[in-house]
Amino acid sequence: MIVPRDPHERTMKQATAIAHPNIALVKYWGKSDVEQNLPAVGSLSITLDGLTTTTRVRFDESLTADRFLFAGGEAPGMAGRVTACLGDFRHRVGATAYAEVESDNNFPTAAGLASSASGFAALVVAADAALGAGLHPGELAEIARRASGSAARSIFGGFVELSLVDGGRGIETRQILEPAAWPLAVVVAVTDSGPKAVGSTDGMLLTERTSPYYPAWVASSPADLAEAHSAVERRDFEALAAVSESSCLKMHSVMLSARPALVYWNGTTVDCIHLLRGLRAVGVPVFFTIDAGPQVKAICLPEALERVGRELAGVPGVERVLVSGLGGGARPVAG
Ligand code: PMV
């Protein structure tokens, strides 16, 4: 019996995935291999649940190129990196069809909120589900990592560690603690929702080339990573607070000492730092971290969330605060 070919068969290879941004507590800044996008240091992060990227990937043999739509419109600035990531994915699974990708975020893009992390994590998980490729999370993290170093961490939920292996020639990303095992809360104080001035790759290369402190930054990272890992295992908030703030300020010190200097902060960023240090000094369980942008992320125990949110919202110049708990890794969803 001849079974008629389903006319929609070609367009059936589609799937939707969601992923959440992650926030590094021990920071990644610097590359040991630009071509391979290999980080010079390991990192440790928490994956959020309140902020979400949703991405639909549709592989279609009739397409002659990949197509990328962000928030319903063309996004020429991002399309090249999306195509490169899809190319990597196709190469890994032996696929040939081009894809149409539609993506959107429910939070401000490109403002130091790790939108590239959730973006590339959602992309590879949706591509994997669309083709039924069944890659292992570690393999998905590896593909996402080549597009954006921090994206490897958003494949996983909760507390995540990205470690250098093989003498720095490879990486391994894994969850070290489930989100429910230590449900920290996060308040993001948005101090400027415009796009950042210098992207992370350009910023890292400039820092490596020009900051006299860069070698010390790289050399001191493994100890920070070990200290943070141990603090997470022991659920020791004070210890995690101390090492996280130190890692953040060391990263910003190498940025500030680059030539020309990379100053990602604004005045409100500094005011938020002082507020949060003051709160911790009087016993409120909260600490700050800041990425390649002016937003301040406050990490706190759940009982301090209401106060931390209220106080940060009251800092002049804070445009708004976003509140989040810890969430799961990137995953396919219906849609
Ligand atoms: O993954 P990228 O290339 O966007 O770099 C991320 C760098 C920081 O956010 C500043 C630190 C980190 O570990 O996420």
For the residues of 49-84, what is the DSSP string, one character each?
A: SSS-EEEEEEEETT-SS-EEEETTEE-HHHHHHHHH
Ranked by mean pLDDT, which of 6-15, 107-116, 168-177 comes out on top? 168-177
pLDDT in tens, 300-313: 999 999 999 999 99
Alpha helices (H) in 148-266, listed in sequence order: 151-154, 200-210, 214-234, 237-256
Residues flanking ligand 1, CB < 6 Å: 24, 27-29, 43, 114, 116, 148-150, 200-201, 291-292
Ranked by mean pLDDT, which of 8-12, 196-200, 230-234 comes out on top? 230-234
Kindly tell me if the per-residue pLDDT of 196 is higher than 80: no
Kindly tell me if the per-residue pLDDT of 2 is higher than 90: no
- Integer CA distances (angstroms), 90 to 101, 127, 128, 142, in order: 14, 9, 10, 14
Give me ligand 1 centre to Cα 60, in Å. 32
Closest ligand 1 atom to the C-alpha of 149? 1
Q: Which residues of 29-67 are buried (b: 16+ CB within 10 A; e: fewer)?
A: bbbbeeeebbbbbbbbbbbbbbbbbbbbbbbeeeeeebb
CA distance 113 to 115: 6
The protein residue with its alpha carbon nearest to ligand 1, atom 8, reads 291
pLDDT for the residue numbered 239: 98
pTM of the model: 0.94
Query: Residue 159's closest CA among 325, 333, 331?
Result: 325
**The two three-digit tokens of residue 68, written as one number:** 């990328």
Give me ligand 1 centre to Cα 300, in Å. 21
Q: What is the DSSP letter of 176?
A: E
Closest ligand 1 atom to the C-alpha of 117? 1
**The two three-digit tokens of residue 195, written as one number:** 């796009």
Give me ligand 1 centre to Cα 29, in Å. 7
Closest ligand 1 atom to the C-alpha of 28? 13
Give me ligand 1 centre to Cα 265, in Å. 15
Closest ligand 1 atom to the C-alpha of 26? 13
Closest ligand 1 atom to the C-alpha of 150? 1
Query: Residue 52's closest CA among 91, 2, 16?
Result: 16
User: What percentage of the chain reaches a pLDDT higher than 70?
Assistant: 95
Whether the bond between 137 and the residue before it is cis, its omega within 30 degrees of 0, is no
Contact (CB, 8 A) for 256 and 182: no
Paired strand residues for 187: 298, 323
Give me ligand 1 centre to Cα 148, in Å. 8
Name the band, by pLDDT with cuts 50, 70 and 90, for residue 50.
Answer: confident
Q: Which of 81, 251, 291 to mutate to test the pocket of ligand 1 (most atoms within 8 A of CB)?
A: 291
Paired strand residues for 98: 60
Half-sphere exposure of 99 (CA within 13 A, CB side): 33
Dihedral angle computed from the Cα positions of residues 245, 247, 252 and 258, in that order, rounded to the nearest 10 degrees = 160
Give me ligand 1 centre to Cα 204, in Å. 9
Kindly tell me if the per-residue pLDDT of 160 is higher than 60: yes
Rg of the Cα atoms in the chain: 20
Closest ligand 1 atom to the C-alpha of 37? 3
Give me ligand 1 centre to Cα 249, in Å. 14
pLDDT in tens, 216-261: 999 999 999 999 999 999 999 999 999 999 999 999 999 999 999 9
Q: Which of 20, 23, 26, 27 to mutate to test the pocket of ligand 1 (most atoms within 8 A of CB)?
A: 27
